[in-house]
Amino acid sequence: MNWPLNESMQKTQEQAGKKPFKTLLFTVVMFIVNLLISMLFAIFLLGPIIYSKVSESNYSPEQVSEMIINHPFVSYINLYVTILTIIVTILLAKWFQGRKLNSFGFYKEALFKKYSLGILIATGLMVVIYLANLMMGSIVTQLNPQASWIAFIILLIGFMIQGMSEEILLRGYVMNGLATAWGVPAAILLNSIIFSFMHYSNPGITNLALVNIALAGIFFSLLFYITDNMWLTGAAHSFWNFMMGVVFGVQVSGLNLPGTLFITQAKPNATLINGGDFGFEGGIVVTIILIIASIYLVYLVSKRPKNLTTV
């Protein structure tokens, strides 16, 4: 099968050259810098919360940790702080490798159309996953009487930032940087493994969840490769998480969210199907859906002409 470089990959090659090891090195640097900055923000912003909880002697350290993790303010911080990933990734790529925004798949043409298409793709997939779990009886779901529109909007914006940040780092930077030297298939596989590794410490993680996160990485990589558009792929990633967590009320990679539209509970006797405490991404339904979706995208690649005209 022919896997030519798409336009953003060609721009990456022109601007940064074929330097895969430098790309991997800077990926590690970016990850560490983002982690340190996030920790500083967390200490500064969460310090008062932690102090108030610890000072209440009737709580055990485990209870304090659980309360902090599930605190709505913490959920908001975890999402909004990822804007630092966007800034750090783009700036370091520009300063040290001469990369421009077009090498990340950012184009002005049909911006809103592309973003909207990404929303539709993610929404369609997540609705199928939700309905499949519902029909198999693996979940119990109801409208949330305490749903908050303020939380809904805050989380919407937060996930738009968070999903885009991971796509910029993993698909725009890592995948494009590796594809110029090692080819597209290797770049898709490697950045997806890195994507899975980044979720290794998430609550409720399982071996199947790690496999599914890697499959999600492959799906988003193929989507980015075919469309060559970061707006579309970033929207798909963002609304995959948003629909799952904020609309359907399911844990997003093991994380609980406040003020969701629905409340969805996973039946403990069907964790293989529903993903248990990790959320849908830890279940076999997501495995099947992502494999089917990825096979379809590979089929589209096989039908493309050698110059890979983008959509």
234 within 8 A of 119, measured Cβ to Cβ: no
Q: 149-176: per-residue pLDDT in tens?
A: 999 999 999 999 999 999 999 999 999 9
Q: What CA–CA distances, in Å, run from 59 to 32, 64, 256, 283?
A: 32, 6, 21, 33
Question: The whole model's pTM is what?
Answer: 0.91
- Please give the backbone phi and psi of residue 248, each rounded to the nearest 5 degrees, phi first: -90, -10
pLDDT at 259: 85
Partner residues linked to 123 by β-bridges: none
Q: Residue 307 pLDDT more than 60?
A: no
31 or 311, higher pLDDT: 31
Q: What is the mean pLDDT of the chain?
A: 89
| 104-108, 255-259, 285-289: range with lowest mean pLDDT | 255-259
pLDDT for 242: 97
pLDDT for 311 equals 42
CA dihedral defined by 122, 123, 128, 131, rounded to 10 degrees?
140
Q: How confident is the model at residue 52 (pLDDT cuts 50, 70, 90)?
A: low
Question: What ranges do the domains of the chain cover?
Answer: 7-303
Separation CA 226–CA 118 (nearest Å): 13
Whether pLDDT at 96 is above 70: yes
pLDDT of residue 206: 95
Band the pLDDT of 77: cuts 50, 70, 90. confident
Give the pLDDT confidence of 121-148 residue by residue, as tens digits: 999 999 999 999 999 999 999 999 989 8
Evaluate if residue 59 carries a pLDDT over 50: yes
**Residue 263 β-bridge partners:** 142
pLDDT band at 303 (very low <50, low <70, confident <90, very high): confident
pLDDT for 74? 73
